Amino acid sequence: MTELKVLISRDRIATRVGEMARQITADSRGEPVIFVGVLKGAAIFLSDLLRSVQLDATFDFIGVASYGDRTVADQEPRRVWDSTGEVRLTKDVDQSLRGKNVFLVEDILDTGLTLTFLKRLLLGHQPKSFRVAVLLDKPSRHKLAVEADYVGFTIPDKFVVGYGLDYAERYRNLPDICVLPEVGLG
Ligand code: IMP
């Protein structure tokens, strides 16, 4: 059984998500918002954030994959983590975002390739406003100059799982965010 070390406890996550929700509520000034969650990693973060904002809020999901993704558990870990950088859409939003206040909700900002791809795509809908909320940010891994408007936690260059984040589809159901030691590079 893989040894998992807790990096961010469920209590800290709940506190921080509450703070982010209060900030988003204040910044939105009573306007309706739509949260667009990136499948599958952001699903749990989105559901907690959504229930904490005090706004007229709806949500949708968008799906992306990387052409370099490996999802087989016995692949060499670094190859699972590091994609080729080519992002493709696997599920589009179900509705028009034109004229809406859009919050893109992502689990983790790593190289920034996914966010860059999605930002360009969603801005093409001509939303009224567009903001990005990420639970985790690994600034040392950024390859592109892209930033989120709301960041839950800044973390070191480690591979993390739990609270929606996976390793080969496993561990998404862990309530804490944990480090998988053999995948971390630090
Ligand atoms: P980026 O395009 O390199 O910024 O990567 C974003 C995506 O890579 C995230 O949505 C995750 O699916 C995945 N990812 C990056 N780092 C981790 C990690 O530490 N754990 C789990 N997934 C990660």
Instruction: Give the residue-averaged pLDDT of 77-106.
Output: 82
Instruction: Name the strand (E) or helix (H) holding 34.
Output: strand 33-39
pLDDT confidence tier of residue 178, bands split at 50, 70 and 90: very high
- 133-151 confidence digits (pLDDT tens): 999 999 999 998 889 999 9
The edge-to-edge listing of strands for the beta sheet with 87-91 is 87-91, 57-66, 33-39, 101-109, 129-137, 150-154
Q: CB of 163 within 8 A of CB of 174? A: yes
Longest alpha-carbon distance in the chain: 49
79 CA to middle of ligand 1, Å?
12
**Catalytic status, residue 69:** no
- 94-133 confidence digits (pLDDT tens): 999 999 999 999 999 999 999 999 999 999 999 999 999 9
108 CA to middle of ligand 1, Å?
6
Collapse the DSSP code of 43 into the 3-class scheme (helix H, G, I; strand E, B; otherwise coil) and give the result. helix
67 CA to middle of ligand 1, Å?
14
Our mutation pick for probing the ligand 1 site, out of 109, 110, 177, counting the most ligand atoms within 8 A of Cβ, is 110
Collapse the DSSP code of 149 into the 3-class scheme (helix H, G, I; strand E, B; otherwise coil) and give the result. coil
